[in-house]
Structure 1
Amino acid sequence: MEPNAHFWMTERQSFFQRFVQWTELLDPTNLFISISKIEKARQLLLTNEDGSIHDLQDKRIQAAWNRSLATVHPDNSRLIPGPFRPAALLPFTAPMVFLSLVQVKSLKSIILPQLSFCTYSTAFNLINGNKSYHRGLYETVLLATGVIASTAFFGILPRLLLMKNVVKNVFLRETLPAAILTQVSALSVATSRSLEPVRGIEVMDKEGNVIGYSRRAGTKAVRDTTISRVVLFGTSAFIPEVFAQFFKKTPLFVRYPQSLWTLKLSCTILVMGLMVPVSFSMFPQIQRIRRGQLEQEIQSATEETELFYNRGV
């Protein structure tokens, strides 16, 4: 069995345990781990497969697990490209989130942040989603292009209406950018991983033996990940806006109006810094599912009462 899948299957089942683990995996230094160090860590885990999972007090074993979990996909054992590892989500998307919330008056200032966010989100979701079903290169490129085009359209059009002063209500004008960003993030997950509920993803027993491909498990994996993204980007978008509204009423804003940008940027980074591990920890990486919740052909293929599947990030 893939060591990463085995780890998530047997460890970190409570929210707090998963949160602590993700705070370690989201260390920015994990973006720059050399391939040789990753290979050494994987070799250590593979050669100590029987005892290393429960020997987390050993600093050497713990470091090996962190390197492996932060850089290797649990479905296909392939290296995740640096810019799309879980630790890259915060530094890459925080500036995009901030720029997407800033009120602008030019078309260029609207399109670039939204298109960048949609492109990066689509690539991140495709790379970190479930990899247990077949998807060709041509199909992947076509899917990614469609997702980027559709999510960018739904993200840019409402902002254009705001720029043209079509929306007159002050409250809507202030909150709509955050709502748009939340909607786009959810739509990106649901569409970029839309093949998982259609083709089904692998479900396995506790020994890692593949029992079959389940569309129901694929639907649940996409739904749970979508919820976690809504929590992440919804909270990260709305809280800075709330703080900004209070800040506008202070004498400091009247004296230094440009400080609003600094406040919103700092607040966005701080909130996202907390919400990324929270959102990743909401649901287990390797989720359990009762046999009775799966398709009839999978139920008849095993006597196990509980099966497992990779939710993806």
Structure 2
Amino acid sequence: MEPNLRFGIAQRQSFFQRFLLWTELLDPTNLVISIEKIEKSRQLLFTNEDSARSNLDDQRIKDAWKMSLSTVHPDSSRLIPAVFRPAAFLPLTAPMVFLSMMPAKGIMSMVLPQVSFYAYTTAFTIINGNASYSHTPVERVLLGGGVFASSAFLGLLPQLAQMKYSLDNLWIKKALPVVIFAQVSGLSTFASRSFESTRGIEVVDKEGSVLGHSRRAGRKAVRETAVSRVLLFGTSAFIPEVFTYFYRRTRFFLQKPWSLWTTKLSCTILVMGLMVPASFSMFPQIGRIQCSKLEKEIQSLTEETELFYNRGV
């Protein structure tokens, strides 16, 4: 069985335990682990399956799990490209979120952050989603391109409206971009992984045996990931805006107005530094679903009451 899948099935972790695990998996040093070290860690988990499953206090085993979980896809067992590993998510998206929420001073300053953000998050969502549904590379590329183009267009609408109509209402000017930013992020996740809910994803028993492809499990996986994205980006955009609103009224800002950018960027990074592991931890990466909620043809293949699937990130 794929070690990462085995880990998710064996470990019934609480939200707090998942949060602590993600703080380790999001360590930026996971981006520069050599392929040789990853292969050695995987070999250790394969050859010492029983000890790897039970002796999680062994430092060698803990390090092996950290390297495997942070760099290898649990469905395909393939190495995740460094730029799309979970550890790269915060360093790359935090500046994009900050720039997307700053007032635009021209077309380029308005378009580039949005285009960069949705190009990266669309690719990240597809690569780190479930890979067990039937598809061709061309289909994934076309789907990703379509989602990226439509998300970037929708994301630009609030700023285009403000440029055209000069909206002065504070709530519309500040709240509308945040709401649309969060909603488009969720819709982008739904669309990026739409094949999972229409074609079905693999569900397995506790031994890792594939019982079939379930559209219901696919819908559950996509829905949970989309909810976590809305919470992540909605909170990460909303709190810095509220902070900025009050910061502008302080004496320090009146004396040093140039400090706004630095302070808001720091606030955005701080909020996202908490929200990224929190959103990734909302639901287990290896999801569980009652067999009674799956398709009849899958129910007839097993007597297990609970089955498993890769929700993705």
TM range (shorter): over 0.9
Alignment-derived partner of residue 302 in structure 1: 302
Judge conservation of contact 1:107–1:160 (CA < 8 Å) in 2: no
Give a deviation string over 1:215-246, Cα, whole Å, max 9, x none: 00000000000011111111111001111111
Pairwise mapping of residues 39-54 of structure 1 onto structure 2 (< 5 A)? Answer: 39-54=39-54
Structure 1 unaligned runs (5+)?
A: none
Pairwise mapping of residues 94-109 of structure 1 onto structure 2 (< 5 A)? Answer: 94-109=94-109
Letter in 2 for 1:300: S
3-state SS of the aligned residue for 2:16? helix
Structure 1 residue 172, shift from structure 2 partner:
1.2
Give a deviation string over 1:274-297, Cα, whole Å, max 9, x none: 111100110001111101111111
Structure 1 residue 12, shift from structure 2 partner:
4.7
Structure 1 residue 41, shift from structure 2 partner:
0.4
Give a deviation string over 1:38-77, Cα, whole Å, max 9, x none: 0000001100012212211111110000000000000010
Structure 1 residue 186, shift from structure 2 partner:
0.8
Deviates further, 183-192 or 37-46: 183-192
Judge conservation of contact 1:285–1:311 (CA < 8 Å) in 2: yes
3-state SS of the aligned residue for 2:309? strand
Judge conservation of contact 1:216–1:295 (CA < 8 Å) in 2: yes
Residue-pair matches, total: 313
3-state SS of the aligned residue for 2:68? helix
Letter in 1 for 2:197: P
Structure 2 unaligned runs (5+)?
A: none
3-state SS of the aligned residue for 2:175? helix
Structure 1 residue 170, shift from structure 2 partner:
1.6
Alignment-derived partner of residue 159 in structure 1: 159
* 1:293 counterpart = 2:293: yes
TM-score normalised to the size of structure 2? 0.98
Alignment-derived partner of residue 80 in structure 1: 80
Judge conservation of contact 1:12–1:21 (CA < 8 Å) in 2: no
Q: Distance in 2 between matches of 1:135 and 1:265?
A: 40
Pairwise mapping of residues 223-242 of structure 1 onto structure 2 (< 5 A)? Answer: 223-242=223-242
Judge conservation of contact 2:104–2:159 (CA < 8 Å) in 1: no
3-state SS of the aligned residue for 2:307? strand
Alignment-derived partner of residue 215 in structure 2: 215
* 1:122 counterpart = 2:127: no
Alignment-derived partner of residue 29 in structure 1: 29
Structure 1 residue 189, shift from structure 2 partner:
0.6
Q: Distance in 2 between matches of 1:98 and 1:165?
A: 24
Alignment-derived partner of residue 14 in structure 1: 14
* 1:140 counterpart = 2:140: yes
TM-score normalised to the size of structure 1? 0.98
Deviates further, 134-143 or 67-76: 134-143
Q: Distance in 2 between matches of 1:54 and 1:107?
A: 56
Alignment-derived partner of residue 261 in structure 2: 261
Judge conservation of contact 2:155–2:181 (CA < 8 Å) in 1: yes
